[in-house]
Amino acid sequence: MMRITRDCLLSGNANRRSWMALVAPSANELTQAAATLDIPESFLRKRLEGEASRPLIKEERLISLQFQVPLPKEGAAGQFTLVPLSLYFVPGYFVTLTEREIPFLSRLIDPRKPRKRWELVLRIIAEVTRNYLPTARSVAREMAVVERDLRQAQRHDVVYRGLDINDRLLALDLGLLQLEYVVSEIGHFLPAEDADLMEIHEDTRIELSQVRDQVDSDQATINELLESYAYVVHNNVNHLFKFMAALIILATIPLFIPGAAAMNVPLGPFPHWRYGFAAVTGGLLLVEALTAWVFYRKGWLRLD
């Protein structure tokens, strides 16, 4: 979809610019937009597909910004999609390019109250930053559930949920890192005498830093949680092997006597002794009991 709204914002020299909104544009719309803006169609297509590229490009007739906007998935707490949002300033136009509708753009870009271009960019970035905050908090809440389940059950499916959370936090962290770079570079274009713009820029930078700190903290927590779980599993496996070894040793002890008796060697008068069977059986039980007591004291016969 391609939508053009006239006179939506002010350029640096106070001229009006039109807003061209490209939302999942068709091939024909992309070709038409590239011709209107005098931008290579391949450049727009790469940005639309979110391919790795420079977050900020400044040329003679073009300023291009790109960052990731977290949009929550319907009915899935903690699940989200990072949607690439590209902004372009070309003569006469301000362009937004994205594969999905971004709700807050229509609220921020109002032809009845046109803003200066850098003020608009900063407000868009501030809104994106505010989208990161509830997304990170929802992931943190799910992480708390995973921690509780790991403590109670130690199920493997919970581990996979923890790994999935770690992947989502990494995606958030990369998106915030890209956004931080854009905010840092924008500071060089802002007029130093405009106190309002500088204040918005500083507020946005601080807000972004706070969200990044929270995501980094959550990442450290989930990594420590998974490492602790791996240690517990490793310890339990070692204990299980000790338990099995103790059982095998206890089961092997009674086999010594029939093994010795079955050997084709003379045993002297011992097989004909009246109390031979009782002595052998009693000695066997005593060795078995002593061995079991030693294993129990060492904890090898306990599975708790």
pLDDT of residue 262: 63
* Predicted confidence (pLDDT) at residue 44 exceeds the cutoff of 80: yes
Choose between 150 and 154: higher pLDDT.
150
State which fold the 1-113 domain adopts: Beta Polymerase; domain 2 (3.30.460)
Strands (E), the chain: 2-10, 16-23, 56-58, 63-72, 80-90, 93-98, 115-116
DSSP 253: G
Model pLDDT, residue 257 = 66
pLDDT exceeds 60 at position 4: yes
- Per-residue pLDDT at 263: 63
The reported pTM is 0.66
- The one-character DSSP state at 255 is G
Is pLDDT of 13 > 60? no
Task: Determine the pLDDT at residue 303.
Answer: 63
User: What residue segments make up the domains of the chain, in order of their start?
Assistant: 1-113, 234-298
pLDDT, greater one: 111 or 267 = 111
The confidence score (pLDDT) of residue 153 equals: 58
Query: Quick one: pLDDT band at residue 210, thresholds 50, 70, 90?
Result: confident
Per-residue pLDDT at 251 exceeds 70: yes
Token digits of residue 115: 């803003």
